[in-house]
Amino acid sequence: MGPLQGVKVVEFQGIGPGPFCAMMLADMGAEVIQIDRPPAARDGGDDANWRDAGRFQFVNRGRRALALDLKLAAGREVALRLIRGADVLVEGFRPGVMERLGLGPEPCLSANPRLVYGRMTGWGQDGPLAQAAGHDINYIALSGALHAGGRRGQPPAAAPTLIGDIGGGAMMLAFGIVCALLEVRRSGRGQVIDAAVCDGSALLCSLLYSLHAAGMLSNDTGTNFFDTGSHFYDAYECADGHYISVGALEGRFYAKLLGHLGIDDADPAAQFDQSRWPAMKERIAAVFRSRSRDEWCALLEGSDCCFAPVLDFDEAPRHAHNRARGNFIEIDGVRQPAPAPKFSRTPAQATRPPAPAGADTESVLAEYGYSAADISSLRDAGVIV
């Protein structure tokens, strides 16, 4: 099942965007083998507990797990054998780490000329910051994306990881991998993908940069029509402390919103008169505070007011629209977001729960030609567990 059925991926385990990219590929039917370090070979970094989060680490779903000590020559040779049979490699180490292991693009593409070699970093493979440590918030700060978040007079804020690690990183790498797989069919030659969160999050801001270039977006965050500056594109508190969202940008939707709120003395034609925004925001806020969120849902949901309730992580899976769309599934008794997008003929399917490191080592090695004696020798040498 899935449009990527038959595609073989070797993923070198990391954190953040790399695993999310591999999850996307696995959701779409690719056969993903995840190579992690045996517990004894780990460096005790801060990500250790997260890697061991078991069935709750959704980004590790859908693939088989192999534990391999890449510091040992025999471990690297095992990895290279898997790479020879793969279509895609995914790695998220700092630039130069895979080269020092002897598993950089040159030897891998030499062993497998059709290989798509996907590299995921924060800053990119080159540039002044390539070797600097960083996280999502740093990468989107440099691209301009972080500046666009937050209310007027308050520090910048953005939803954790969504713009950077996931949108600018994982999804850009997944898109690049699929593009390169298509190109391999024409040329017969693999290539290296240099995906960086900083680069991708800048691209995600294309519309914002376009509006800014046209003089329609101010650098004064929180004053623009869709960054909480306007009264018709914001979240408002209800009588019960919950929130709703409105995004009535177009004039016809804005007029419907005013009508449903009982505001009949405001001129819809003055929607974009910024001098009126503060007073209108206070007025609309007072109206929304007069009823509970459920009451507003009963009145506005499904209308053309561009309305939706603000749901938390417990509420969203229970919403009727999400249930009807199948946007959340259960795997191993744990509810989690479903694969997306949806396909008419080759539907994506996520059924395999996250596997602990080394859970499938023996079965994977056997498929790649290792005998029982070979596997035993590798275990005795500490190459596998």
Tokens of 265: 């003395």
Q: What is the CB-side half-sphere exposure of residue 2 using CA atoms within 13 A?
A: 21
Q: Which residue has the tokens 């493979």?
A: 125
One-letter amino acid at 23 equals: M
Tokens of 162: 């969504």
Question: Pick the catalytic residue: 165, 199, 234, 360?
Answer: 165
Backbone angles phi and psi of 213, in degrees to 5? -65, -30
Backbone angles phi and psi of 330, in degrees to 5? -115, 130
Question: Pick the catalytic residue: 47, 135, 147, 242?
Answer: 135
Backbone angles phi and psi of 132, in degrees to 5? -80, 145
**Distance of alpha carbon 180 from the chain centroid:** 20
> CA 249, 255, 259, 265 torsion: positive or negative?
positive
Polymer length of the chain: 385
Q: How many CB atoms lie within 10 A of CB 11?
A: 29
For residue 315, CA distances in Å to 145, 245, 311, 318 come to 28, 15, 5, 5
Say whether 242 is catalytic. no
* Dihedral Cα 322, 326, 332, 333, nearest 10 deg: 40
User: What is the separation, in whole angstroms, between the first and last Cα of the chain?
Assistant: 31
Say whether 319 is catalytic. no
Tell me: cis bond preceding 354? Omega within 30 of 0 counts: no
Catalytic annotation, residues = 135, 165
